[in-house]
């Protein structure tokens, strides 16, 4: 899944990290504080003297100074607090710090923007070439730059690779938008919980409904299916076949009936029979199909569903992103299911949709079987895309 994008991101992180390492090494060499620590982690003396001979003005320990003047009381502290060596100037093994380790002692480093400019251009081409929406690509680039460029950057410990960790954070920020606990929301709501599915024709809405019926069954929740796609010939047969396979109740009317009436009847059935969840199919439509969009508006008025999910194919890339945006404008959605994610080498839709709609991706369809439905977990997805060295 998303193998093409993985390769591009890996190439970026490796190339950029090499230049960042070179820049840090050069910075350490130019850091005067780094040279103030010798190989044993101790301050070097400020002047030469013979063994055992105090420096000029230094106390001999017997209360007199070396110039024969009046006795000078030794200070209560040999050095002030500002000149004391830092406690973290020794590593866990007691070995002396290298110059590079000293720079990282505070967990911070400075990276020059010039060191990253060409690599950020490489990353931009990689993202756009993987169907990531332009606005989202720019957001990722800004996130990487913010994480790496500036006065200081606290190092992350997950991989030890500054660029890889900066990219991980930037990707997570754009794909985790709006995430919520789907299972908890369904369980906590008053029953029946009504979910409406919408999107263009042929992207896997009906199959996704069947998969969610199995998903809920495995979590101890009962479901009833409602065929609100009264526009398309054969829609009843398709959903009825899934209902038979899964041993689920289906509510349907004849072709041309009012979709809102079908879903209303399903809600009434669920209420009378203590069914937990109503899964309502609707006809595939474009956002420009005024009549069909009016149907969705009527369903919202009559049913007031608890959740509306937009379904599209991950392999549709930028088209899926544009459709998600338009559907959310026309009939507000609560989240997205991306089908055929297992066949998508690019990942552009998975990265972009949540950011452009402000609504989360909730599930990925990863095959044809009823169990081939995965919760969309942003952290896991980012880890799969970025990986570790």
pLDDT in tens, 284-314: 766 556 666 777 788 888 899 999 999 999 9
pLDDT of the residue at 33: 55
Give the least confident one: 57-71, 110-124, 165-179.
57-71
Q: Is the pLDDT of residue 87 over 90?
A: no
pLDDT of the residue at 95: 35
Domain range annotation of the chain = 1-40+95-175, 182-375
Q: Is the pLDDT of residue 151 over 50?
A: no
User: Which CATH class, in words, describes the domain spanning 182-375?
Assistant: alpha beta
Q: Is the pLDDT of residue 94 over 60?
A: no
**pLDDT by residue (tens digit) across 175-207?**
999 999 999 999 999 999 999 999 888 889 999
Range 1-40+95-175: architecture per CATH? Up-down Bundle (1.20)
The predicted model scores a pTM of: 0.74
Most confident of 116-125, 152-161, 223-232, 333-342: 333-342
278 falls in which pLDDT band (50, 70, 90)?
very high
Residue corresponding to tokens 């013979």 = 50
């Amino acid at each position: 899944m998303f193998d093409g994008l993985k390769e591009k991101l890996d190439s970026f992180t490796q190339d950029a990290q090499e230049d960042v390492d070179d820049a840090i090494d050069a910075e350490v060499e130019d850091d005067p504080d780094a040279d103030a620590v010798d190989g044993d982690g101790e301050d070097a003396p400020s002047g030469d003297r013979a063994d055992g001979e105090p420096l000029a003005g230094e106390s001999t320990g017997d209360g007199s100074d070396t110039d024969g003047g009046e006795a000078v009381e030794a200070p209560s502290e040999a050095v002030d607090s500002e000149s004391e060596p830092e406690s973290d100037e020794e590593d866990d093994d007691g070995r002396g710090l290298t110059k590079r380790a000293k720079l990282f002692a505070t967990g911070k480093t400075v990276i020059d923007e010039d060191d990253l400019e060409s690599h950020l251009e490489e990353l931009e081409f990689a993202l756009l070439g993987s169907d990531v929406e332009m606005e989202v690509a720019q957001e990722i680039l800004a996130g990487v730059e913010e994480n790496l460029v500036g006065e200081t950057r606290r190092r992350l410990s997950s991989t030890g690779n500054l660029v890889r960790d900066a990219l991980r954070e930037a990707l997570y920020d754009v794909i985790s938008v709006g995430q919520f606990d789907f299972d908890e929301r369904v369980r906590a709501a008053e029953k029946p919980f009504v979910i409406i599915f919408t999107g263009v024709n042929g992207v896997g809405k009906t199959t996704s409904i069947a998969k969610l019926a199995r998903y809920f069954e495995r979590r101890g929740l009962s479901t009833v299916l409602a065929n609100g796609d009264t526009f398309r010939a054969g829609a009843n047969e398709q959903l009825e076949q899934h209902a038979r396979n899964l041993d689920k109740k289906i509510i349907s009317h004849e072709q041309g009936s009012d979709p809102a009436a079908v879903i209303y009847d399903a809600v009434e059935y669920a209420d009378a029979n203590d069914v937990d969840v109503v899964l309502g199919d609707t006809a595939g439509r474009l956002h420009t199909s005024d009549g069909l969009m009016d149907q969705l508006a009527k369903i919202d008025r009559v049913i007031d569903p608890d959740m509306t999910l937009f379904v599209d194919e991950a392999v549709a890339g930028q088209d899926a992103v544009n459709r998600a945006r338009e559907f959310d404008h026309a009939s507000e959605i609560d989240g997205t299911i991306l089908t055929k994610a297992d066949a998508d080498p690019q990942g552009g839709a998975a990265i972009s949709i949540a950011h452009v709609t402000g609504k989360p991706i909730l599930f990925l369809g990863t095959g044809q079987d009823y169990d081939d439905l995965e919760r969309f977990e942003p952290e896991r997805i980012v880890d799969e895309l970025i990986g570790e060295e």
